[in-house]
Amino acid sequence: MTSKRILITATQVPFVRGGAEYLVEGLRDALRERGHTVDVVALPFQWNPVERIPEHALAWRMLDISHVNGQPVDLVIATKFPSYMIRHPHKVAWLVHQHRQAYDWYGTDLSDFSNTPAHRQVREAIFQMDRRGLGECRARYTISRNVSGRLQRFNGLASTPLYPPSRYAQSLRAGPYGDYVLSSARLDRAKRLDLLLHALAHTDAPLRAIFAGTGPDRQRLERIATDLGLGERVRFLGFVSDAELIELYANARAVFYAPLDEDYGFATVEAFGAARPVITADDSGGVLEFVVHGENGLVTRADPAALATSITALATDPARAEALGRAGQPLVAAITWEKVIQALVRDA
């Protein structure tokens, strides 16, 4: 493959790091390892107040990155709203997600949009910008079938799913099946981590819950744990190092990951990389592209009592937890940067 000069465009919410940021960094490093000259162009994004959102899209539209230091840029890979509004003759999208508050979250308590003329106008502007910015791309890829489905449903644009590897793919390992259920998700309402707390309160199973991560929902979750009297059965570790997280995966009985209609979910592929079964819900979106009930994890309603049944089942049968977890390993072994790079750079 001929070496290219490539720019990755990425939205960065200041002080926040999550799956999208890790994806961009992993893509950058994988391209460099294959001999390409690569850098990341990131602009800050703020979604509140809603009325200011079009300004952030306009900032991307005004950039000219066709040449840098007098040399042409061969390819632009856009990732997340509104970074795909940038103009370039060789633009490819690897869509993490659109601005979900204007799309599938609209009308729920996860959205800042209200049913007012001003907010409806902004929402329609986002639809138009997405159709234009993504419609200009020479190729459109997404991080999951779920994201592709939303793009087709809302914008009438076809795309190809292209799964990203975890940054821990080469480091995850299988250890003993310990006495805790791990959550590695960001502490955010959309991840529905309160379901795990309520499920734990529904069972006397000898398993703890360990939350490894930070986020704006921590105080609320801690209050719920206190109100439920969970005590030492719950630990909030906050930020943990990569080495600590790998160790937590290696020794968990299972991984809990039941967000609402997730885009993709690195927690799923990381759990399988460590041969851990995943406990999830039947409305968790992209997670269900990997987790099959009774084969490599347990899928139930997004209901504490139903999830408690899954926790109890794995608490009393570590051999089943191991069998389910190991069944998930072949799925993630097929997710490689080589496949991602070949697809994204193919038409450059």
CATH number for position 199:
3.40.50.2000
Domain endpoint, select from 134, 162, 190: 162
- pLDDT at 172 exceeding the cut of 70: yes
Does residue 238 sit within a domain? yes
Same domain, 326 and 230: yes
Same domain, 196 and 304: yes
Q: Which amino acid is at 188?
A: D
Range 248-252 average pLDDT: 98
Tell me the Cα Rg of the chain: 21
Same domain, 224 and 284: yes
Domain endpoint, select from 129, 162, 195: 162
Looking at residue 181, its pLDDT comes to 98
Q: 117-126: per-residue pLDDT in tens? A: 999 999 999 9
Range 162-168 average pLDDT: 95
Domain endpoint, select from 131, 162, 193: 162
* Residue 306: HSE in the Cβ half-sphere, 13 Å Cα cutoff: 11
Same domain, 222 and 322: yes
- Mean pLDDT score of the chain: 95
Looking at residue 184, its pLDDT comes to 97
Q: 268-277: per-residue pLDDT in tens? A: 999 999 999 9
Does residue 344 sit within a domain? no
Range 295-324 average pLDDT: 97
The boundaries of the domain holding residue 305 are 180-333
CATH number of the domain that residue 109 is part of: 3.40.50
- pLDDT at 1 exceeding the cut of 70: no
Total domains present in the chain: 2
Structure token pair of residue 300: 């139930």
Pick the range with the lowest mean pLDDT from 41-50, 67-76, 143-152, 242-251.
41-50
Same domain, 194 and 247: yes
- pLDDT at 347 exceeding the cut of 80: no
Same domain, 281 and 196: yes
Looking at residue 48, its pLDDT comes to 83
Does residue 348 sit within a domain? no
Same domain, 184 and 328: yes
Looking at residue 87, its pLDDT comes to 95
Q: 177-197: per-residue pLDDT in tens? A: 999 999 999 999 999 999 999
What is the share, in percent, of the chain residues with pLDDT greater than 90?
A: 92
- pLDDT at 328 exceeding the cut of 80: yes
Does residue 147 sit within a domain? yes
Same domain, 57 and 128: yes
Same domain, 132 and 261: no
Same domain, 95 and 24: yes
